[in-house]
Amino acid sequence: MPDAASLPPGPHVDAESFAEFLRTLRRFVDEVLIPREQELESTEVIPAEVVEQMRELGLYGLSIHPDYGGLGLSTTQEILVHEVLSEAAQGFRYAYSSNVGIGSRGLALDGTDEQKAFWLPRLAAGELIACFCVTEPDAGSDVASLKTRAVPSTGPGGEPGWRLTGTKRFITNADVAGLYTILARTDPQESGARGISAFLVPRNTEGLRIGKPESKLGQRGGNICDVILDDAWVPASALLGGEPGKGFVTAMRTLDSGRLGVAANCLGQMRRAIDEAARFALERRQFGQPVAEFQLVQALLADSETDWMATRSLVLDAARNSDAGQNVQRMAACAKYFASEALGRVADRCLQVLGGAGYLADYPLERIFRDARVARIYEGTRQIMQLVIARQLLKDYS
Ligand SMILES: Cc1cc2nc3c(=O)[nH]c(=O)nc-3n(C[C@H](O)[C@H](O)[C@H](O)COP(=O)(O)OP(=O)(O)OC[C@H]3O[C@@H](n4cnc5c(N)ncnc54)[C@H](O)[C@@H]3O)c2cc1C
């Protein structure tokens, strides 16, 4: 259990209160989430009472400023929270994580005062779910090539606004969201990043449709779907920040902070995988002794623990720099890159420790192995992380 002396105070939550919060979350993970993992895997639905408990714990507003009803945790505090919660099946995170991360971040960073005052308290309270719609069928890593367009157009009462047309793909929580931040091209003359804007589109907008949930490898409990916009009209006040042409920068800033969150999720998954493997190795006997006594099995555990410790140092260092007001684009990319690769290695080694049992759905390692894979893909693939890191590094030398 963490004691306050070892924990960072945030601007809004002191170290003592934060230590108590982490202890509460630890109990929530051990007593509520982990016992219901098998149920989540088979039903693919987060139980309503679990969602309600998450609301009561304040999980929807972890990152949102207290002025808007959130907890306003520092980045370091948020990382430590994600780490604990990610020890349970990743599917549970779908309930609140988009409100904490990519769904609210762009709004908090670049929204107008009116936009923030209208949306953020609802997101912090978990009254509605937010999602962030960048990816398209023909625009994944190459965000600047997106084709969804927004054209100026008056609404039914003659008021100024925009009409949006296009398809967004793989959108987390699109099926349950109430607010969609949509990236669209507002300047048809500008084919790159400068012609892109972000719009805050409510669920009940005429012309907005949601595709059917995709069947995916892991992270059961949350869905990704297409978001289809067919001449969907929104008022001028829906333009994020009130100024066109800023959407690409907002998206990149949103993803920079989201990447530290992904890295923290990797940490929690690694910890759980190591715990499961170590416990199993001490109990399982072969050749007359626990398999934990074989040095080749110990090597699997030692390499995993080392990966976990190295990742933790990297992620917390990036978080502290972020809290100190530094630009952490490169560090966040390094952290996400290293953490997601390390998680892949750890999940693979820990599954190996369980032998055949590791391959069975009755044991958590099988799920952890599947849940882990996407960390190397979403919020910037491994290759895109390498490009971001190298580009930033080379800038220092040119
Ligand atoms: C579970 C899940 C949830 C998601 N949630 C969201 C969401 O909420 N909102 C959202 O907008 N998107 C979301 N995505 C989409 C995700 O961000 C994209 O899948 C990701 O950015 C990669 O894009 P892509 O799939 O089109 O792959 P592509 O960009 O087509 O890449 C294919 C391959 O080419 C490589 N590649 C591409 N460009 C380069 C390059 N320049 N140099 C070297 N290699 C390159 C990639 O690394 C990859 O290996 C989600 C995806 C998943 C699987």
Q: Which of 83, 87, 366, 379 is catalytic?
A: 379
What is the predicted pLDDT for the residue at 256?
85
Please list the ranges in the chain whose pLDDT falls under 50. none
Ligand 1 centroid to residue 299 C-alpha, Å: 34
Give the span between the Cα atoms of 268 and 81, in whole angstroms.
10
Pocket, ligand 1, Cβ cutoff 6 A: 131-135, 140-141, 170-172, 216, 224, 374, 377-379, 381, 383-384, 387
Ligand 1, closest atom to CA 139? 26
| CA 26 to ligand 1 centroid distance, Å | 33
Atom of ligand 1 nearest to the CA of 141: 29
Element (H, E) at 390: helix 382-397
* Token pair for 113: 């005062």
Give the distance (Å) from ligand 1 centre to CA of residue 143: 9
- What is the residue whose two structure tokens read 């923030």? 116
What is the model's pLDDT at position 4?
77
Residue nearest ligand 1's atom 35 by CA:
383
Which residue puts its alpha carbon closest to atom 45 of ligand 1? 383
Closest protein CA for atom 48 of ligand 1: 381
Two structure tokens written together for 94? 């779908």
Active site residue 379: yes
Look up residue 184 and give its two tokens: 């669209």
Q: Give kind and range of the element (H or E) at residue 312.
A: helix 295-323
Residue 136 backbone dihedrals phi, psi, to 5 degrees: -135, 170
Give the dihedral sign, CA 295/300/305/306.
Answer: positive
Reduce the DSSP state of residue 327 to 3 states and report it. coil
Instruction: State the pLDDT at residue 1.
Output: 62
Whole-Å CA distances, 187 to 49, 54, 182, 190, 200? 46, 41, 15, 5, 18
Task: Specify the ligand 1 atom closest to the Cα of 383.
Answer: 47
Where residue 182 falls (left for φ over 0; alpha for ψ -120 to 50; beta otherwise) is beta
Q: How far is ligand 1, taken at its centre, from the CA of residue 134, in Å?
A: 10
Run of H or E including 5: none
Residue 73: alpha-carbon gap to chain centroid: 16
**N-term to C-term CA, the chain:** 47
Question: Which amino acid residue places its CA nearest to atom 31 of ligand 1?
Answer: 141
What does the alpha-carbon distance between residue 37 and residue 219 come to, in Å, rounded to a whole number?
A: 11
Q: Whose CA is nearest to atom 17 of ligand 1?
A: 378
- Alpha carbon of 136 to ligand 1 centroid (Å): 10
Q: Whose CA is nearest to atom 23 of ligand 1?
A: 140
How many Å apart are CA 247 and CA 190, to the nearest integer? 13
Cβ-contact 125, 70 below 8 angstroms = no
Q: For the range 20-29, what are the long-range contacts, defined as Cβ-Cβ under 8 Å and sequence gap of 24 or more?
A: 21/81, 22/80, 22/81, 22/84, 24/57, 25/57, 25/81, 25/84, 25/85, 26/1, 26/84, 28/53, 28/57, 29/84, 29/85, 29/87, 29/88
Question: Burial level of 259, CB count in 10 A (0-12/13-18/19+)?
Answer: buried
Nearest to 270 by CA among 210, 227, 239, 314: 314
Q: How many CB atoms lie within 10 A of CB 278?
A: 18
Domains of the chain with CATH codes: 4-125 (1.10.540.10), 130-243 (2.40.110.10), 249-397 (1.20.140.10)
Distance (Å, rounded) from C-alpha 138 to C-alpha 160?
Answer: 30
Q: Ligand 1: distance of its center to the CA of 330 in Å?
A: 19
- For the chain, how many residues are written? 398
Cα–Cα distance, 165 to 184 (Å, whole number): 8
Beta bridge partners of 164: 150, 232
Residue pair 139/147 in contact (Cβ under 8 Å)? The answer is yes
Query: Is 239 exposed, middle or buried, given 0-12, 13-18 or 19+ CB atoms closer than 10 A?
Result: buried
